Amino acid sequence: MTEIIMTLTLRSPAKINLWLRVLRRRDDGFHDVDTRMCPLDLADEVTLEPSVDGLAKLTCSNPELPVDESNLAMKALRGYEKRSGTTQAWQIHLEKHVPHGAGLGGGSSNAATVLLGLNRLNGGVLSDEDLHEIAAELGSDVPFFLYGRTCDATGRGEVIEPVETFDWELPVVLIKPGFGISTPWAYKNWRDSKELAGVFYGVQTQPWGEMINDLERPVFEKWIWLPTMKNWLLEQEETVAALMSGSGSTMFAVARSEADAAVLAESTRKFCGESTWVQVTRTRK
């Protein structure tokens, strides 16, 4: 007899972009990109359990985040309802560890995790293609998080190709200042932005790929803290490479080892002060 699962808790991982090339602005207002995204050990937790009053509801450990229909997790539930033709009366709880507005994909990951969880709770009534189409409607990064592995993404980010030969679990230090950055703003200002003198924007060639982020140009122009942070990270002996993730505001450094990552994190905390969020994690294959 099939076991009926009534409560489900799933990891909802963060991500970094090992590279992000912006190719062109499309007629629909989006931009074509070429990016490689890696899931991280750092993750939120998403719990789904039956709603006591028959209504879908959302709660969150971070009081600064909305818990109404504007949250991507609720939009994912509504998208699942529409595609499946069912009513989904679940209480969703987000236990947040991934900061908001960080370029780490926290909200997109939560949405994808809700889709995966609902489909599991409903006996897999929707196909992988169905889930991907719902995810793509929710946001460009959401489809990636359905795969749970390192992937290349093209189109506006919704065309996903899993990477078959990514064998690295990279020790990473994440650094997020006390401000976030709007992804639409970063893309809107990409074309007309200019490089700052004294800041390294070029390719950082590594065994796992050519690390570069084209969105550093517009973002660094407005938020000078970020290029200062990147230059400082690249000067540290523990750092192999340093880059902004997504549209920011998180900077990340790949360290030479987990021990070096711990040393670098401590140095970063001293350099940045208490208002900056610093986290050691690693990529997952």
Catalogue the active-site residues.
15, 141
56 is in an annotated binding site: no
102 is in an annotated binding site: yes
103 is in an annotated binding site: yes
Q: Where are the beta strands (DSSP E) in the chain?
A: 8-25, 31-50, 57-60, 90-95, 151-154, 159-162, 171-176, 204-206, 209-211, 239-244, 251-255, 277-282
193 is in an annotated binding site: no
Closest by CA to 95, choosing from 108, 80, 106, is: 106
- CA 182 – CA 187 distance, rounded (Å): 9
155 is in an annotated binding site: no
Residue 213 is given by DSSP the state: B
Distances (CA, A) of 159 to 76, 133, 147, 254: 19, 11, 12, 26
198 is in an annotated binding site: no
CB 70 within 8 A of CB 63: no
CA atoms within 13 A on the CB side of 266: 5
117 is in an annotated binding site: no
- CA 122 – CA 142 distance, rounded (Å): 20
100 is in an annotated binding site: yes
The structure tokens listed for 220 are 């660094």
139 is in an annotated binding site: no
- CA 116 – CA 99 distance, rounded (Å): 22
31 is in an annotated binding site: no
106 is in an annotated binding site: yes
Which residue numbers belong to the known binding site?
99-109
Which residue numbers belong to the known binding site for ATP?
99-109
